[in-house]
Amino acid sequence: MASQPNELNQVRIEAGQADAVIACDMVVASSQKALNVLQPTTRIVANLAELATADYVLYRDADMQPSKRLNMLREAVGDERFASLDANRLAEQLLGDTVFSNMMMLGFAWQQGLVPLSEPALQRALELNGVAVERTARHLPGGAWHR
């Protein structure tokens, strides 16, 4: 993220250069490729939900090892730079559908100070996205996203 497009100078984050990680999917976030971008000061917010992967389809008894994956993330940055949320459960309870879980994660990351945008900028992004704007906006500040 940057305030001006000309401040963005690369498509991928280089090894050891991530300031923040919004881990919507703990399998992806705990992969070696994702762990390589972490640095000692990186902050992570992680979704506690276990999301189905191809292994679940191919192997009925596959174990995603969620505790192990979360501990890997927590240990990589330390307790003080790690926070978690069951975004799928909250999205289901508040909005009636887990499809909103990534938006919940964005709001949680914003609450933690990981997203350098103002509240009006987030609301404008929702409007520009054009998907379930009113339903999602009800849970911005004053709702589930309120600091």
List b or e across 108-118, with b for residues whose CB sees 16 or more CB atoms inside 10 angstroms.
bbbbbebbeee
- Structure tokens belonging to residue 102: 């990534």
Task: Say what the pTM is.
Answer: 0.78
Question: What are the beta bridge partners of residue 43?
Answer: 20
Q: pLDDT for 99-142, tens place per residue? A: 888 888 998 999 999 998 888 888 777 777 666 656 665 555 44
Domain boundaries, the chain: 10-115
Q: pLDDT for 34-93, tens place per residue? A: 999 999 899 999 999 877 665 566 666 666 777 899 999 999 999 999 999 999 999 899
Instruction: Give the C-alpha separation, 89 to 93, whole Å.
Output: 6
Which amino acid, residue 93? Answer: Q
Which amino acid, residue 107? Answer: G
Give the count of alpha carbons within 13 A of 66, CB side only. 13
